[in-house]
């Protein structure tokens, strides 16, 4: 069974074996507004936990996307680069950002479950 966890930077991560799918949360898209640009990490590159692994831009500003765990980028979602509005429409499902072959499963333990994240998101929103 796959588990979904959440970071304080508003990313979600779904783990299947050692394959992690990562995207940004619905709450994040609501804070950002209409997303008009997305940049993803390069396939084959290695990303480190809490490091920058992409960018999203709304009409107002650019925001970094961080990776909640370390690993090698094995796939990226070109569909959201071609049409960034997909991120607003379906952020926690089809509009995933990238997939990682993770290095250290214990990094998942540092992340929040859904209930904790929902609480965190509510507290940090204005």
Partner 1 sequence: MEIKKTSLYQLHQDCNAKFVEFAGYQMPIQYSEGILEEHKFTRNHSGIFDVSHMGQLFIYGGEDLIKDLEKIFPLDLKNLKLNHSKYSFLMDKDAGIHDDLIITKTNEGFLIILNAACKDNDFKILKELLKDKHKMVLDENRSLIAIQGPKSSEILNAVINGVKALNFMSGNWFTFENQKVYITRSGYTGEDGFEISIENDFVDKLTRELINKGSKLIGLGARDTLRLEAGLCLYGHDLDKDKTPVEANLKWAISKERISKGDFIGSDIIIKQLNDGVSKIRVGIKPEGKIIAREKTKIFNQSDVHIGEITSGTFGPSVNGPVAMGYVENEFSKKNTKVFLEVRGKKHPANICSLPFYKKSYVKGVN
Answer yes or no whether residue 74 interacts with partner 1 by CB under 8 A. no
Residue 51 in contact with partner 1, rule: CB under 8 A: no
Span interacting with partner 1, options 12-20, 42-50, 57-65, 115-123, rule CB under 8 A: 57-65
8 Å CB contact between 88 and 23? no
55 binds partner 1 (CB under 8 A): yes
34 touches partner 1 by CB under 8 A:
yes
Instruction: List the one residue out of 50, 47, 62, 64 whose CA is nearest residue 100.
Output: 47
| DSSP assignment letter at 42 | P
- What distance in Å separates the CA atoms of residue 39 and residue 57, rounded to the nearest whole number? 9
Binding to partner 1 (CB under 8 A) within 85-114 occurs at 85
Neighbours of 106 (CB within 10 A): 8
Q: Which residues bind partner 1 (CB under 8 A)?
A: 33-34, 36-37, 55, 57-62, 81, 85
């Amino acid at each position: 069974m796959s588990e979904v966890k959440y970071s304080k930077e508003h990313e979600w991560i779904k783990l299947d074996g050692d394959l992690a799918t990562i995207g940004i949360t619905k709450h994040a898209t609501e804070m950002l507004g209409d997303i008009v640009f997305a940049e993803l990490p390069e396939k084959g590159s290695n990303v480190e936990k809490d490091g920058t692994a992409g960018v999203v831009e709304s009409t107002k500003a650019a925001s970094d996307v961080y990776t909640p765990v370390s690993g090698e980028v094995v796939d990226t979602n070109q569909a959201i680069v071609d049409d960034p509005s997909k991120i607003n429409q379906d952020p926690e499902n089809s509009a995933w950002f990238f997939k990682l072959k993770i290095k250290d499963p214990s990094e998942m333990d540092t992340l929040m479950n859904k209930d904790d994240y929902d609480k965190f998101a509510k507290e940090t929103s204005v």
